[in-house]
């Protein structure tokens, strides 16, 4: 058994991670940590856990994680991980940081897009393995420090990578028009995200300035081995979960839909969590909800020589807690899909 | 391993049952049956199953279930089970009928409320054990034929039974004001249930004439050992899953909220799937979704000497497929909660 | 032209009122007031008004309403009106208070249910006319001070009043099981009301302790001329607008559905905003959204001698801003339905 | 007064049109037509109209529209208008066809994309004025036959036209990533559009083959005066109303966001129903719902020299019934915004 700590267990990502790891046969949840008024059983703080997982949630100051856990997941707001990770690593705890603190390697880029002042553990930037298993599985295996990808970059990278890598895309450029559910804003986003403001409305925001924009550039550049160009436009849709990423890539020369489809099938044929749909089919977020799957469908618009690649993920699973567990399985040498075998509920 | 057939596997209840039993360590799904254009893998008919459960779905006429399965679940429209069950039982197949064909014992009552003509297997009415484990667990154990309760009666019976059974309710009468999600209408309900007609609206229907009205009377009368009286008013709410049942019972004499709460805690203390919430708390459908739990909260309105008992279930799990699996576990002698350990996703 | 001030114009009720009065041919909106960072056009604060109503919204301290307006609507949080109304009335401004400050006549009851300390304008309690036109039209005509009913009491009173008034209900008691949309919590309710927490869930709250409980008792007692008894259980449903109130009343003696229907038709035959549906029909919130209608349907459950009366309103229109405008029309001597002629959008 | 017929009045577009024209001071609704079991008042067929508009709806065969009306709106399924329009025009009735029958001028293109066989009134193709007032106001004024634009093309054309027309876009090409609410599928779309299948899911469909694809090419080519190139990808979002169109156009040379914004402000400064938002703001569908507005926001992604222009409309108003009324006002010489002054409800 491996001893595991989850910091931020009362947020959406932390709770989903607890739900997944609770059924992991090799995991003992030894530390559930969150900012709480007073220590309380998880089930009294997050009612879904009532009667199932009632371990005590304690405040960060009341526990020494390095004494308690072999692995620590940080599902925390910006700038918490950068304060905690150096000590954890120094004391031999393996870390999966699900926050954005260590995703970008370039300190200047981090500070430009996160806009919350200087990075306080800059010496560790670039030390974390970027936890997208489809791209970096070998580095994740046995890694001590993994930075879990953002939800949007996960969907976009899995959709755009194979075609960009083929060298067939003009300017190595992709437009990512992504639509997320409201849980992406977390559990404490405030009045702008109340039901009455979100229901029955849809909008774009943060064109070119979202903090996931440079992360997409970084991961896709790494994935294709040369600078990739990304225009990322996020949208908020009136649903709880899911990200649909519609990616547009101008083709250098003609490519049939069948060839494009073959390219994706070949790339992902051995992947446990990527489902390339049958030719002509496009994914729906509903078909991957509560699962670690990324569904992908492709099309070619011949008149404009443009490939359209669409991916669907659950933002809290493959886009967050599920992928963190997948990375953990690789780090610890377990079956990659341990505890991640869910089929989406119908409907 | 037990060989299991699911008839109606492409409907919501059938699909959810397949999802549950797929992970049951003692089950082999040997027959997936539905009315289909041509035999096709489940994953191509119900996309959630892609890459997970790709067994062929065949038409009813193309398979001899008694040759193939030890247990048969019928998740079928009205009047299908009544045609199929006699032969299945005669040939030794154990049956869980999730449809309404065999829930009511009284043929006249059946015909009055179902309004589709004479019952065609009336000799079997009353032969099925009513599959509400909290009430009839001993009879379900080892049973050959179980009729799975309706979704509304499950939520109402679990909420009203303890107090009615105590004899403290005037006229043994309960008002059940229940609110269901739209999946209760099934996968093929037609234009009246399209998104645009259901979203942003809420309404009551079928006051006193819903087919679950006599089922509630029957199960509660059985449960308390004398005729119970029920007024059932169903409502459709703009959500996919869940039933919230708000039950009103006039008290014969004063009862404190603490005593009422104690009554429910005592009744359900050993139940694996009933969670009586802490005093003062009321349940939410969101906290039980995708799970087999029934959450119950209680309150007393002293001015009018009325007990208010509220239950929340997932209409497709505890209200249908999950309870069917729970009954199956009892029939087959497996752990009652095998394959039913889910925690609700957050959010 | 009548000069009108709206205080709290950036909240949901205030904005809806502005939307309604903007098209009122006899109204000049001379003061739009709200707590704002700095004075700004309404369209920049509430984007729906862009290009239509761009008058400046100013802070309460920056305007003398009595100088500016003949009528003042207060769409404000608790305890704001009690500080403002005495001066407004003293200076001759007619007031429609849409908040709860002056709905209850009994100071002790107010303080028990509102739980925010002593009422600070207790000398005015009972001075306001309760603005339910169907019950108190004559008093509202020409009134100087109207307290606009709560959303829940509006739906409940219109549903229960005719039958209670007939004397045919046991103990003059009604159970009100009401389901509201999330806009009822206002525009600034905080993290408990974010989309992800509200979507796909339904729950009851505040059994017997909601501040609308004593208001229902008061209005129905006034309406029937003897003490009425109410058990009110509010529910939150995953929709933006609408309240469906399902009311249960035990009949003293047999009454046919036709007689019950006739009673309601008779009572409301001259009402411009109450639609008694055809016999056998029940209302839907979607059919009254964005309108000042209250739709009512009735049924009788003969087995338990219970009348079930269901009403549907838009909580922000007939339940708030629309009714305020209706009261204003009566106070000012305009056509009662001026500016209130909307038909619900389809769908 | 002008006598007006609406054919298809029980569908969503027809009903919304009736709602709008009912309050038009110059309109008398003399013929409400739909396929009905038997003639019935509109309020009994579409409950929103109860008590407001109870004129009889009759079957097409039971009325001679040319005898009854000066103007006829056709809000009908494919291929109904092509059978009806020749006779209506020949007999002097002015026609607004809201269906897709006469939008495309090229018969071959029509038959390729609509896929329902030969056009049966091909001699009239090209005779209808395309009813996008912002582009073709002068032709619409006084026209006898207007073809009302599709919902998607309305949002896309208003967003893309100004920049395409400037000549600053590479290849005169625009990618239109559009997200619609479910009412776009009409009132009778069948089981694929039921609530449980649509809620909590989002997907793309019909890449490059949607029947609005060639309509966008046609209208934008007309608008800019040379062949425009369009890649249109529609998406279905879990909401009832609204279309958000996110348009991507690669710039030939650098353009600042301020210059782009100025271009749009200039183009639309006199338009009554286009609101160009303040620099830096992007539109939301919720802010235009139930209104005839098209809100537009712009951004420039400098790294990839791409303009992002986003428009929001209500698919049933500016995208259908409202624009039809706007066209009617122009045809008949009324104020263009008569009966179209709505402000969006909040929230």
Q: Select from D195, D201, D239, D314 the residue whose CB has the most chain B CBs within 10 Å, as the one to mutate to test that interface.
A: D195
pLDDT at D227: 98
**Chain D residues within 8 A of C238 when measuring between CB atoms:** none
Report ipTM (2 d.p.). 0.97
Phi/psi at C87 (nearest 5 deg)? -65, -40
CA nearest to D53 within chain C: C343
Q: Which chains touch C (3 or more CB pairs under 8 A)?
A: A, B, D
Q: Tell me the C-alpha distance between D204 and B91, whole Å.
A: 48
Looking at A141-238, list the stretches that DSSP marks H as alpha helix, in order from N- to C-terminal side.
Answer: 151-165, 195-198, 212-224
Chains in contact with B via at least 3 Cβ–Cβ pairs below 8 Å: A, C, D
Q: Across residues D266-295, what is the average pLDDT?
A: 98
Band of pLDDT at residue B118, cut at 50, 70 and 90: very high
Provide the CA D57 distance to its chain's centre, in angstroms.
Answer: 24
For residue C208, which residues of chain B lie inside 8 Å, CB to CB?
Answer: 299, 301-303, 308
Cβ atoms of residues B48 and B86 within 8 Å:
no
Over residues D313-333, mean pLDDT:
98
Give the model's pLDDT for residue A222: 98
Look at residue B322 in the predicted model and tell me its pLDDT: 98
- Catalytic positions of C are 151
For residue D276, the model assigns a pLDDT of 98
What local confidence, expressed as pLDDT, does residue A150 receive? 98
Interfacial residues of A (vs C; Cβ cutoff 8 Å): 12, 181-183, 185, 187-191, 193-200, 238-240
Q: Looking at CA atoms only, how far is residue B16 from chain A in angstroms? A: 6
Q: How far is D296 from chain C (nearest CA, A)?
A: 12
CB D281 within 8 A of CB D297: yes
Distance in angstroms (rounded) separating the CA atoms of residues D216 and D75: 20
Contact A198 C193 (CB under 8 A): no
DSSP C251: B
**Residues in B touching A199 (Cβ below 8 Å):** 200
**Element at C222 (helix H, strand E):** helix C212-224
Summarize the confidence of residues C169-189 as an average pLDDT: 97
Q: What is the pLDDT of residues D72-105, one digit of tens each?
A: 999 999 999 999 999 999 999 999 999 999 999 9
CA-based radius of gyration for chain A: 20
3 state DSSP class of B310: strand
Q: How high is the mean pLDDT of chain C?
A: 98
A-D C-beta contacts closer than 8 Å: 162
Query: Across the B/C interface, how many CB contacts are shorter than 8 Å?
Result: 162
d(CA D198, CA D182): 8
Cα angle B176-B180-B186, degrees, rounded to a multiple of 5? 130
Cα gap D118→D108, rounded to integer Å: 9
**DSSP strand pairing (D229-236 vs D203-204):** antiparallel
Nearest neighbour of D231 by CB, restricted to A297, A304, A347: A304
Task: Please report the pLDDT score of residue D268 as a whole number.
Answer: 98
Count Cβ atoms below 10 Å from residue D3 Cβ, excluding itself: 17
A306/D200 Cβ within 8 A = no
Cβ-defined contact of B195 to D12 (cutoff 8 Å) = no
Mean pLDDT computed over D105-119:
97
Give the mean model confidence (pLDDT) for residues C262-288: 98
Task: Tell which of B14, B32, B48, B278 to mutate to test the A interface (max A CBs under 10 Å).
Answer: B48
What pLDDT is attached to residue A146?
A: 98
Tell me which chain C residues have a C-beta less than 8 angstroms from the C-beta of B284: 201-203
Euclidean distance between CA atoms D71 and D2, whole angstroms: 8
Position C116 confidence tier, pLDDT thresholds 50, 70, 90: very high
φ, ψ of residue A277 in degrees (nearest 5): -70, 160
Contact D199 B240 (CB under 8 A): yes
Check residue D108 and give its pLDDT.
Answer: 98
How confident is the model at residue D188, as a pLDDT?
A: 94
What does each C-alpha distance from C76 to A154, C34, C79, C187 come to in angstroms?
45, 9, 8, 11
Closest residue by Cα to residue B146 from B132, B162, B164, B166: B132
Stated pTM of the model: 0.98
Instruction: Answer whether CATH 3.30.70.1290 is correct for domain B2-127.
Output: no
> What is the pLDDT, as a whole number, of residue B320?
98
**Chain B residue set in contact with D, beta carbons under 8 Å:** 12, 181-183, 185, 187-191, 193-200, 238-240
d(CA A151, CA A321): 10
CB within 8 Å: A193 and C198: no
From chain D, pick out residues whose CB is under 8 angstroms from the CB of A230: 304
In this structure, the strands spanning B229-236 and D203-204 are unpaired
Residues of D in contact with A301 (CB under 8 A): 207-208, 231
Cα D99 from Cα A182, distance rounded (Å): 35
C63 close to C40: Cβ distance less than 8 angstroms: no
pLDDT digits (tens, 9 = 90+) for D39-72: 999 999 999 999 999 999 999 999 999 999 999 9
User: pLDDT 10s digit of each residue in chain A, 347 long?
Assistant: 999 999 999 999 999 999 999 999 999 999 999 999 999 999 999 999 999 999 999 999 999 999 999 999 999 999 999 999 999 999 999 999 999 999 999 999 999 999 999 999 999 999 999 999 999 999 999 899 999 999 999 999 999 999 999 999 999 999 999 999 999 999 999 999 999 999 999 999 999 899 999 999 999 999 999 999 999 999 999 999 999 999 999 999 999 999 999 999 999 999 999 999 999 999 999 999 999 999 999 999 999 999 999 999 999 999 999 999 999 999 999 999 999 999 999 99
Beta-bridged to residue D297, according to DSSP, are D310
Shortest CA distance from B344: residue in chain A: A48
For residue B138, give the 3-state DSSP assignment. Answer: helix
pLDDT at A80: 98
Q: How far apart are CA B267 and CA B163, in angstroms?
A: 10
The residues, any chain, with a CB within 8 Å of residue C223's CB and separated by 6 or more, are: C135, C157, C161, C164, C165
Contact (CB<8Å) A287/B50: yes
CB D293 within 8 A of CB D274: yes
Number of H helices and E strands in chain A, helices first, is: 11, 15
Q: Indicate yes or no: CB of C287 within 8 angstroms of CB of D50.
A: yes
Interchain proximity A341–B23, CB inside 8 Å = yes
> Least CA distance to B283: which residue of chain A?
A47
Reference C76, options C15, C18, C8, C17; nearest CA is C8
Q: How confident is the model over C256-280, as a mean pLDDT?
A: 98
Q: What does the pLDDT read at residue D252?
A: 98
Q: Which residues are within 8 A (CB) of C38 and not within 5 positions of it... i.e. 6 or more apart?
A: none
CATH topology of domain C152-315: Dihydrodipicolinate Reductase; domain 2 (3.30.360)
Q: How far apart are CA C202 and CA B200, in angstroms?
A: 13
CA A38 centroid distance within chain: 30
Does D295 contact C50 at a Cβ distance shorter than 8 Å? yes
CB contact under 8 A, C47 and D287: yes
Candidates A21, A41, A49, A50: best to mutate against B (most CBs of B within 10 A) is A50
Min Cα distance D241 → chain B (Å) is: 8
Residues of A in contact with B32 (CB under 8 A): none
- Over its C-alpha atoms, chain D yields an Rg (Å, rounded) of 20
Domain residue limits, chain B: 2-127, 152-315
B151 catalytic, yes or no? yes
Centre a 10 Å sphere on the Cβ of residue B40 and count the other Cβ atoms it contains.
Answer: 15
Residue linked to tokens 């998607």:
D152
Contact yes or no for C287 and D47 at CB 8 A: yes
Q: Cα(D44)–Cα(B171) distance, rounded to whole angstroms? A: 40
- Convert the pLDDT of each residue in C9-22 to its tens digit: 999 999 999 999 99
Say whether C290 and D345 touch across the interface (CB within 8 A). Answer: yes
Pick from B294, B296, B291: nearest CA to B325: B291
Choose the closest CB to C182 out of A190, A195, A240.
A195
How far is it, in rounded angstroms, from Cα A198 to Cα A195?
5
How confident is the model at residue C328, as a pLDDT? 98
Nearest CA in chain C to D181: C347
The whole-angstrom distance between D21's CA and the closest CA on chain B is 22
Q: How far apart are CA C260 and CA C247, in angstroms?
A: 13
- If you average pLDDT over every residue of chain B, what do you get? 98
- pLDDT, mean of residues C318-342: 98
Q: Which of D72, D151, D247, D294 is catalytic?
A: D151
Closest CA to D6 of D96, D79, D83: D96
For residue D198, count CB atoms less than 10 angstroms from its CB and return exposed for 0-12, middle for 13-18, buried for 19 or more. buried
Average pLDDT for residues D334-341, to the nearest whole number? Answer: 98
How do the residues of chain D divide into helix, strand and coil, expressed in percent and rounded to 5? Answer: 35, 25, 40
Alpha helix stretches (DSSP H) within chain B: 12-22, 42-45, 65-68, 81-90, 107-114, 133-140, 151-165, 195-198, 212-224, 257-268, 322-332
D125-179 pLDDT, tens digit per residue, is 999 999 999 999 999 998 999 999 999 999 999 999 999 999 999 999 999 999 9
Q: Report how far residue C185's alpha carbon sits from residue C200's, in angstroms, rounded to the nearest whole number.
A: 17
DSSP of B220-284: HHHHHTS--EEEEEEEE-SSSS-EEEEEEEEBSS---HHHHHHHHHHHHTT-SSEEEPPTT---B
Chain B neighbors of C299, CB-CB under 8 A: 207-208
What is the token pair recorded at C130?
Answer: 């309760």
Q: Which residue of B has its CA nearest to D194?
A: B194
How many A×B Cβ pairs under 8 Å?
Answer: 75
| In contact, B74 and B93? CB cutoff 8 Å | no
> Which chain B residues touch A if contact means CB-CB below 8 Å?
12, 15-16, 19, 22-23, 44, 46-53, 183, 187, 199-200, 240-241, 275, 277-278, 284, 287, 290, 293, 295, 316, 341, 343-347
The answer to whether B284 contacts C177, with C-beta atoms less than 8 Å apart, is: no
Task: State the pLDDT at residue D113.
Answer: 98
Integer-rounded Cα Rg, in Å, for chain B is 20
Contact B240 A275 (CB under 8 A): no
Give the side-chain half-sphere CA count within 13 A for D103. Answer: 25
- Which one, of A81, A87, A97, lies nearest residue A67 by Cα? A87
In contact, C282 and C310? CB cutoff 8 Å: yes
Residues with Cβ within 8 Å of B107's Cβ and at least 6 positions away in sequence, in order, are: B119, B122, B125
Q: What is the percentage of chain C residues whose pLDDT exceeds 90?
A: 99
- Report the pLDDT value the prediction gives residue D14, as an integer from 0 to 100: 98
Nearest 10 degrees: Cα torsion A318, A319, A320, A325:
20
Type and span of the H or E element at D42: helix D42-45
Q: Which of C257, C259, C254, C242 is nearest to C293 (CA)?
A: C242
Most B CBs within 10 Å: which of A48, A185, A288, A340, as the mutation test of the B interface? A48
Q: Chain B contacts of A183, Cβ < 8 Å?
A: 347
For the beta carbon of residue D170, count every other beta carbon within 10 angstroms: 14
> Distance between CA B236 and CA B220 in Å, rounded?
23
């Amino acid at each position: 058994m491996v001893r595991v700590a989850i910091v931020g267990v009362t947020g959406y990502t932390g709770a989903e991670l607890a739900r997944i790891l609770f059924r992991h046969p090799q995991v003992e949840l030894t530390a559930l940590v969150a900012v709480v008024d007073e220590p309380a059983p998880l089930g009294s703080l997050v009612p879904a856990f009532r009667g199932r997982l009632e371990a005590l949630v304690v405040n960060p100051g009341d526990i020494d994680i390095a004494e308690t856990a072999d692995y620590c997941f940080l599902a925390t707001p910006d700038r918490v991980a950068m304060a905690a990770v150096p000590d954890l690593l120094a004391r031999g705890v393996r870390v999966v940081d699900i926050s954005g603190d260590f995703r970008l390697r370039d300190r200047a880029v981090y500070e430009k897009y996160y806009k919350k002042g200087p990075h306080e553990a800059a010496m560790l930037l670039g030390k974390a393995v970027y936890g997208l298993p489809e791209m970096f599985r070998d580095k994740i295996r046995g890694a001590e420090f993994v930075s879990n990808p953002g939800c949007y970059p996960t969907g976009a990278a899995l959709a755009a990578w194979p075609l960009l890598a083929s060298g067939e895309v003009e300017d190595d450029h992709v437009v990512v028009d992504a639509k997320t559910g409201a849980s992406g804003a977390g559990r404490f986003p405030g009045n702008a995200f109340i039901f009455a403001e979100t229901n029955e409305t849809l909008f774009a925001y943060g064109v070119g300035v979202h903090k996931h924009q440079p992360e997409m550039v970084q991961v896709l550049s790494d994935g294709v081995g040369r600078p990739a160009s990304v225009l990322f436009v996020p949208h908020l849709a009136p649903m709880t979960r899911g990200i649909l990423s519609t990616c547009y890539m101008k083709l250098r020369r003609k490519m049939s839909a069948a060839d494009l489809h073959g390219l994706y099938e070949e790339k992902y044929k051995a992947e446990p969590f990527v489902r390339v749909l049958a030719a002509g089919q496009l994914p729906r977020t509903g078909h991957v909800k509560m699962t670690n799957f990324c569904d992908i469908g492709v099309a070619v618009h011949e008149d404009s020589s443009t490939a359209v690649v669409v991916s669907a993920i659950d933002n809290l699973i493959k886009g967050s807690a599920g992928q963190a567990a997948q990375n953990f399985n690789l780090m610890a040498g377990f079956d990659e899909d341990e505890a991640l075998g869910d089929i989406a509920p119908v409907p």
